[in-house]
Chains A and B, each alone.
Chain A
Amino acid sequence: MRLSQLHRPVVAAASTGAARPAAPRLLQDAFAALRIRGAAPANTTANVNVEGRRYASVKSQGMYRLRDSATIPKKMGAKKTGDSFVIPGNIIYKQRGTIWFPGENVGMGRDHTLFAKVQGYVKYYKDPLRHPDRQYIGVVFDKNDTLPTPPHAMRRRKLGMTATEVKAAPALPELSPSGIPNQVVREGFGRAPHPRDQRVYKLQQDGSYSYREENWRLGSLIRTEKRKMGSRRVAMRHRRRKSKAILLEMRRDREDKIARRKEALDEQRAARQKRIREYLARQKASKTADGSVGSPKQSPPTVQA
């Protein structure tokens, strides 16, 4: 139907007040026939067209409404009604913006979707003490519980966990059934190697007789965390810590070197003293032997080939 056609009865109604021309008589008659009540006086004919109206009982159902086929339906709204049972992660309400706010035991996603955080029953409520106008959705453990909880009352909490006993893992035997060690530990370098430099190689259980570091140990070799780029103060602290660590390491190395040198010297000294002791013992033995023979004069020690 064109727009001009739609306007026609209105135009007609307007024109009836003034002079009634002969041309639209036909239309007038047609409307008059449609009228339920009898012919009205001339001054009320303006309302007549509006009065005779059908109710939108069919169209109100949305049957004939044109959907916008160019967009995807967003499917907003309540996914769970009040008192319905939910488990953690269940979506309760989808919305644009915060029409509803997350109340007790309810979380909000980054698109303002409300979801349950515990197992329980959904409650829609208002909490004027928390905020005068906001409406909240909460989840309670017991269906008969009400929200909001009274102020200063203890929170209702559930553990939601089970206690299990941890069995200690059986200790790995020293040797594998084939007679080779189950793991090889390689220490770091130096006199006092840092435990950080320790490497543990485990015998593979796949029958390949190869040794390999565990993945978590390999992972610990890599520094994944980034230094927090914050203030200059933080940077300075890091710098200081680093230089201090280097200093300590150098000192440790130096001490290590000194200790090694000392050890070597001690060894030398011990060897020398041992030689002297042996020499003296030999002397004594020869002296006693000579004494028994009867020659007190002792010749200076001579190197014997």
Chain B
Amino acid sequence: MSSCQRVARPITRSLQQSHVSHISPFALGRAFSQSAARKDEVPPSTTSAPAAEPVPSPASTAASPSEPKAPSGVDRDTVTAYWAERRLIKQGTPPVGSRRRRAAIKTSENIPFEQLPYQAFQEARKILQEDRQEKLRALQSTLASIKKLEETPADQLPGGERKKNMRLTSLRAHVEELKILADINDPIVKRKFEDGLGDMNKPIYRHLAEKKWRGYPFRLITQRIEQLNIVPDVLPKFEPTVDVQMYFRQDKVEPGEILPSLVTEKPPRLKVQVFNSGERLMSVVVMDSDVPNAETDSFDRRCHYLAANVPISPDQPSLPLSKVNKETQLAVPWLPAFSQMGAPYHRLSVFILEQKPGETLDIAKLKELYSARDGFSLKSFRDKFGLNPVGFNIFRTVWDEGTAGVMERAGVPGANIQFKHKRVYSLKGEKKQRGWEVKRQKPKYKSLWKYTHRIRGLPRYKGRKLD
């Protein structure tokens, strides 16, 4: 029995009992379909007053449908069948939460938090509500003091302009903190975030998302940056602050994975999740930092993709590289990742660079500079246009069966080139060969030639038969 079911068992039992005892099934169903906590459409706003206790009104109950249905008629809150889940994913409305949770919701009654029969739980909710009230009061008072401070001229304050600005910034930081603290203990907020339904324009959901990202994905990506030597090779210093996920053919790839060349033939879709408010313009660079160069006996770099002026905001994270505007955003079109036979793996790093606020890059200039692709330097690109690298992801590629076809379709020559390790000769001198057979190779021992084999590296004397 799952934990959800275990939790729900006493409720269902009590409901069944009450159901048989006095309440009619119709009335019961209506009361619970109310479910303010479940469909809590009142967004947890930071500045407004706390959500009032739901007053069930029969009219609104009758008007609102019981659950938001997907266009296919499959409920994304309670779907458990594989085919239905797949259909929902195809439609772009993925099912909510885990399958286990959905099954639990399906089999249990839909009871809002306010009506749950757990006394300790209800007491705890009261405490949390009080705490929220307190935070909201603090927020109002801080906002008032900010306003007051802004209105006061700097020469009337101790410390002058500098002190005033310092105080204002610290107060604003405190406001942001209070906004998060007011909502952080709200179970509905927590559930909404876990279901992926949180509004990223609200500071609390951004805070939760960043906390989640800093947990494992951030550590993973920083480890990849270090292990794959991105930091000294591509950039001298780099710390990502933005979550970048990469999807090839709708499949999410782990950072640093070695991908088949057929998969990487088409450009990926990125999901760039920023954790601070507002829309900003970003540049996207995909570069290969391991292009082998046999003439110079070293590695070159190559630009595989370059786009600029891509708007990204917290609630608009999707960035399909194939869908950027050809005129205003795309500078260097996608070149499939490829690696020649025998060459060590290529690291293809995807960088998201933040442009200066309110500044757009000149695509024509970018095209002129980087259309050649070869010898691309991210460092110089960053310095030339005043960009700030914020996001990173990486995949690797090696020669495989599909690479020759990929290179042919992309019009890249060199599919028939193979790289081989240079022969390294031993530092020790040649040793004279020794042994009975070696000694008897000379014509002096002609009579013994029938018993000896010819030895490689020694001359074949006249009269010796082929063997």
Contact = CB atoms under 8 A, between A and B. Distances in A.
B419 A85 contact: no
Interface string B309-350: 000000000000000000000000000000011110000000
A153 B232 contact: yes
A152 interface: yes
Interface size class of A (residues with CB under 8 A): 20 to 34
Interface string B342-385: 11000000000000000000000000000000000000000000
A240 to B, nearest CB: 11
B232 A159 contact: no
A162 B419 CA distance: 5
A27 B425 CA distance: 69
B417 A163 contact: yes
A90 interface: yes
Interface stretch (B27-35, B206-214, B292-300): B292-300
B294 A162 contact: yes
A164 B418 contact: yes
A162 B340 CA distance: 12
B194 to A, nearest CB: 21
A160 interface: yes
Contacts of A163: 292, 294, 340, 417-419
Contact of B418 (A85, A153, A160, A165): A165
A305 B327 CA distance: 83
A66 to B, nearest CB: 34
Contacts of B342: 161
B421 A165 contact: no
Contact of A162 (B298, B299, B341, B422): B422
Contact of A157 (B298, B417, B420, B425): B298
Contacts of A166: 341, 416-418
Interface residues of B, number: 27
Contacts of A155: 229, 232-233
A184 B425 CA distance: 45
A159 B237 CA distance: 24
Given A152-B236, A154-B233, A155-B233, A161 B294 contact: yes
Nearest to A158: B297
Contact of A159 (B293, B341, B417, B425): B293
A159 B298 contact: yes
A153 B360 CA distance: 31
Interface in A114-162: 119, 152-155, 157-162
Interface string A165-198: 1101000000000000000000000000000000
Contacts of A157: 298-299
The interface centre, meaning the residue of A90, A119, A161, A166 with most chain B CB atoms within 10 A of its CB, is: A161
B420 A161 contact: yes
Contacts of B420: 161-162, 164
A88 interface: yes
A157 B418 CA distance: 20
A95 B231 CA distance: 33
A154 B418 contact: no
B292 A159 contact: yes
B424 A87 contact: yes
A38 B402 CA distance: 98
Contacts of B426: 87
Given A85-B427, A154-B233, A160 B416 contact: no
A154 B417 contact: no
Contacts of A90: 427
A145 to B, nearest CB: 14
Given A119-B424, A161-B422, A162-B422, A154 B292 contact: no
Contacts of B418: 163-166
B59 to A, nearest CB: 49
Contacts of B340: 163
A17 to B, nearest CB: 66
8 contacts: A87-B425, A88-B424, A119-B424, A154-B233, A159-B293, A161-B422, A162-B420, A164-B417
**3 A-B pairs with the lowest CB-CB distances in the bound complex, closest first:** A152-B236, A163-B294, A161-B419
Given A160-B297, A162-B294, 19 more contacts: A85-B427, A87-B427, A119-B424, A152-B236, A152-B237, A154-B232, A154-B233, A155-B232, A159-B294, A159-B297, A159-B298, A159-B419, A161-B292, A163-B292, A163-B294, A163-B417, A164-B419, A164-B420, A166-B418
Interface of A: 85, 87-88, 90, 119, 152-155, 157-166, 168
